[in-house]
Chain A
């Protein structure tokens, strides 16, 4: 909006400024959006009869949350949950251990150019491929079971953690690192005393967050045969045993909440 004198504006009503200032662009965006919406709604086929029939089952499912059945499939649920937790822990440990050197390599202010490019390449590949697709391929290669899930989660952890760690290292305070270097430190001492203390709080926080994500992801890897609670959940849905499914979902939610609470405490302590 151009500047105007207050006198010009006296007597005219105030109008709210628009979010997108350029009127051509604004109306173009609106028109394009409406056209897209019409096209999208035209092509979506909704079988309202089927939806209406299903509402009954939906109500049953919602009711199942009031009386979840932890008992009758307790063995299967316990096995699946334990496998999910085992996969999460192992994959988080391995993923974090591998992502630290890759994160160091992907930071421009530490690594030389060739190493930087290689590490950035690894990060890009790991981030572009989705967990579930990686899991399908790994199940095809390594066979059914938690090993495929473990490898999938480790691989996904590397992309996530290395990228954020590298960004944190790139934005660190150079003065501290230089002071350590000036005292005659070796490269390893320089990393250990100059760089590591600066990025440690964030690394711990991000690792906790990733453990949280890994657990959530481990709950679906079972759908493609990569171990964990997902297989049990899928079976429960297929057999319309909503009370068991509700029990599993409640357990997942409770564990995720507990992890979030725990990571909040740990992050508050390290920072």
Chain B
């Protein structure tokens, strides 16, 4: 009853009494959980360092400025590697994601009972593990270098691309598929002429979108040894060469902004 009688006047309330009680209890529980979490964080923090932080931040800032501009001559190759990791990784992942997406979409999967869950598992498991962890794993398996970065980005992107793509496949217009089927087309011909033209714009959009994200991710893959500009970043950090670190951060920032701009332009042209 959202209207409460108080004496002779009737006052409107947004919620009934029970609803507000449940809400208050929920908030109380939430605050309690947060306080417990905060306590754990605070226990494992050395507070002396935190009170000291402004001085340290100021110290790092004075060391890092101005950036060492001459160092940019050594960054050409790492940037090229970063671009390659992102681009080749995206391409490999798209090649792998297309069959997974067709197996995962409800209207194209050969078997809803057996194959679809496997495809969904592939999507979830590749998506939920960060590319840095994939890189860590691949470095242990195939050794450090650009190749490990390419494969790490490729595996990480399968889930993302396949998920968006299978959602696009599930939303296609069925009438077109039926029209192609009615001409006597085989299963593959139906796919090529009935389904693929409908999802092609979505596919191109997903590819560019993921490429943009991959540029961001590949800039830091070098921190674990998988090639690219992150390698320079981690070696500069290790020798505390802060002017180089600040230059590398500026370059990464520029790369991220440019890739976002390119992807926005291309997606704008497609859609």
The verdict on A123 contacting chain B, using a C-beta distance below 8 Å, is no
Docked Cα-Cα span, A246 to B254, in Å, equals 37
Q: Let me know if B150 and A44 touch, CB within 8 A.
A: yes
In the bound complex, CA of A45 to CA of B147 (Å): 7
Query: From residue 86 to 139 of chain A, which have CB atoms closer than 8 A to chain B?
Result: 86-87, 89-90, 93, 128-130, 132-133, 136-137
B133–A233 contact, CB under 8 A?
A: yes
Chain B contacts with A in 227-268, Cβ cutoff 8 A: 233, 237, 249, 252-253, 256-257
Closest beta carbon of chain A to B171's beta carbon, Å: 18
A19 to chain B: which residues have CB within 8 Å? 200, 204
Partner of B143, one of A54, A87, A141, A260: A54
Closest residue on chain B to residue A249 by CB atoms:
B129
Q: Would you call A227 an interface residue if the criterion is a C-beta within 8 Å of the partner chain's C-beta atoms?
A: yes
Which of A4-12, A66-74, A170-178, A217-225 touches B? Answer: A217-225
Closest residue of chain B to A255 (Cβ to Cβ) is B128
In the complex, are the beta carbons of A133 and B44 less than 8 A apart?
no
Cβ of B125 under 8 Å from chain A: yes
Is A252 a contact partner of B256 (Cβ separation < 8 A)? no
Known: A141-B53, A146-B45. A57 touches B256 (CB 8 A): no
Contacts of A260 in B (CB 8 A): 124
Q: Could you say which of B34, B125, B141 has the most chain A C-beta atoms within 10 Å of its C-beta? A: B141
Q: Does A13 contact B (CB under 8 A)?
A: no
- Nearest-neighbour CB distance to chain B for A1, whole angstroms, equals 14
Total interface residues in chain A, CB < 8 Å? 57
Note all chain B residues with C-beta closer than 8 A to A86. Answer: 37, 40-41
Contact A47 B253 (CB under 8 A): no
Complex interface residues of chain A between 37 and 55 (CB less than 8 A to chain B): 40, 43-47, 50-51, 54-55
One digit per residue, 1 when the CB lies within 8 angstroms of any chain B CB and 0 when it does not, for chain A 229-271 equals 0100110010010000100010011001100100000000000
- How far apart sit A90 and B128, CA to CA, in the bound complex (Å)? 21
B133 touches A220 (CB 8 A): yes
Contact partners of A140 in chain B: CB under 8 A: 56, 60
Cβ of A58 < 8 Å from any Cβ of B? yes
A50-B142 CB under 8 A given contacts A40-B87, A40-B88: yes
Q: Is the CB–CB distance between A253 and B129 below 8 Å?
A: yes
Q: A36-B87, A249-B133 are in contact. Are A142 and B150 (CB under 8 A)?
A: no
Assess the B41–A237 pair: CB atoms within 8 A.
Answer: no
Q: Is the CB of A252 within 8 A of B147?
A: no
Size of interface on B: residues with Cβ below 8 Å to A: 55
Question: Which residues of B lie under 8 Å from residue A145 when comparing CB positions?
Answer: 41, 44-46
B84 at the interface (CB under 8 A from A): yes
Asked if A223 and B224 sit within 8 Å, CB to CB, the answer is yes
Report Cα–Cα, A141/B50, bound state, in Å.
8
Q: Does B84 lie within 8 Å of A44, measured CB to CB?
A: yes
B67 interface residue (CB < 8 Å to A): no
Q: Which residue of A lies closest to B253 (CB)?
A: A128
**Is A93 a contact partner of B34 (Cβ separation < 8 A)?**
yes
Q: Is the CB of A245 within 8 A of B137?
A: yes
Chain B's nearest CB lies how many Å from the CB of A121? 14
**Structural contact, A257 and B128, CB atoms closer than 8 A:** yes
B193 to chain A: closest residue by CB = A16
**B100: interface (CB < 8 Å):** no
Q: Which of A146, A219, A233 contacts B41 (CB 8 A)?
A: A146
Nearest neighbor of A94 in chain B, beta-carbon distance: B34
Contacting residue for B124 out of A93, A223, A240, A253, CB 8 A: A253
Query: A164 at interface (Cβ–Cβ under 8 A)?
Result: no
Task: Say whether A233 contacts B136, CB under 8 Å.
Answer: yes
| Chain B, range 129-151, C-beta contacts under 8 Å to A | 129-130, 132-133, 136-137, 140-143, 145-147, 150
Beyond A90-B41, A253-B124, whether A143 also contacts B133 by CB under 8 A is no
**Within 8 Å CB of A133, what residues of B?**
220, 233, 249, 252
Residues of B within 8 A of A82 (CB): 40
Question: Of B33, B46, B124, B249, which contacts A256 at CB under 8 A?
Answer: B124
Residues of B within 8 A of A58 (CB): 141-142
Known contacts A128-B253, A145-B46, A245-B137; A136/B237 CB under 8 A? yes
Please report the C-alpha to C-alpha distance between residue A240 and residue B140 in the assembled complex, in whole angstroms.
8
Closest to B42 in A: A147
The 3 A-B residue pairs whose C-beta atoms are closest, nearest first, are A143-B49, A256-B128, A50-B143
A90-B38, A256-B127 are known; give 12 further A-B pairs, CB within 8 A: A61-B140, A86-B41, A89-B34, A90-B34, A128-B253, A141-B60, A142-B49, A147-B42, A223-B223, A237-B140, A252-B128, A257-B124
